[in-house]
Amino acid sequence: MNLKVRSWLSGVALASALTLAACGGGGGGGGGGGGANLNISTAGEGLQFAPAALNATAGQQVKVTFKNGSAAQKHNWVLVKGGDAEAQKVDDEGATAGEAAGYIPTDPNIVSSVKLLGGAETGTAEFAAPAAGTYTFLCTFPGHYVAGMKGTLTVK
Ligand SMILES: [Cu+2]
């Protein structure tokens, strides 16, 4: 192998290593094989997520950045495997867990969560997107889920 080829190959290896490092850090956006950066907030002071629908690809590294758009309300973001029945159960357990736990209980259906945020705070959650299907996310601060603070993550 001559020197030119060898130097080109080490350049390729370096570029691959840098790409892997970037992926590991959760960088990059969009779908495909890369990671997904999903941004979500609230509808101002309203007890609603905006947007209420998120998308990801199974196995993809997902970073959710949740900005509490309210100045007055505390909110969290809890992703649950299942629909309304599972979300309601997690919401009930969250109320029991209490504010010290950020109203986030231990439940096998919880995929990931962003901790309880005060007004205008931002938090993140990083996880590998689960198997294809529909998942419910909700805020478990008492009274918020029943008021409609929920949404859907669709994994394809
Ligand atoms: Cu809330």
**71 CA to centre of ligand 1 in angstroms:** 12
Distance CA 143, CA 48 (A): 12
CA distance 17 to 11: 10
How far is ligand 1, taken at its centre, from the CA of residue 49, in Å? Answer: 9
Reported confidence tier of residue 132, pLDDT bands at 50, 70, 90 = very high
Residue 95 has pLDDT above 70, yes or no: yes
3-state SS class at 95 = helix
- CA 31 – ligand 1 centroid, Å: 28
Supply the pTM of this predicted model: 0.80
Model pLDDT, residue 6: 47
Q: Inform me whether the pLDDT recorded for 18 exceeds 90.
A: no
Average pLDDT over every residue of 3-18: 43
pLDDT digits over 29-58, tens only?
444 558 999 999 999 999 999 999 999 999
Indicate the pairing of strand 150-155 with strand 53-56: parallel
Give per-residue pLDDT as tens, 101-117: 999 999 999 999 999 99
Distance 140 CA to ligand 1 centre (A): 6
How many angstroms does the Cα of residue 104 sit away from the middle of ligand 1? 12
Contacting residues for 103 by C-beta, under 8 A, at least 6 apart: 76, 94, 95, 97, 116, 140, 141, 142
3-state class (DSSP) for residue 55? strand
Is 36 in a helix, a strand, or coil? strand
- Residue 137 alpha carbon to ligand 1 centre in Å: 11
Distance CA 71, CA 47 (A): 12
Q: Please, which residues have CB within 8 angstroms of residue 7's CB and are 6 or more apart in sequence? A: none
**Burial (0-12, 13-18, 19+ Cβ within 10 Å), 69:** buried
- Mean pLDDT over 3-32 rounds to 42
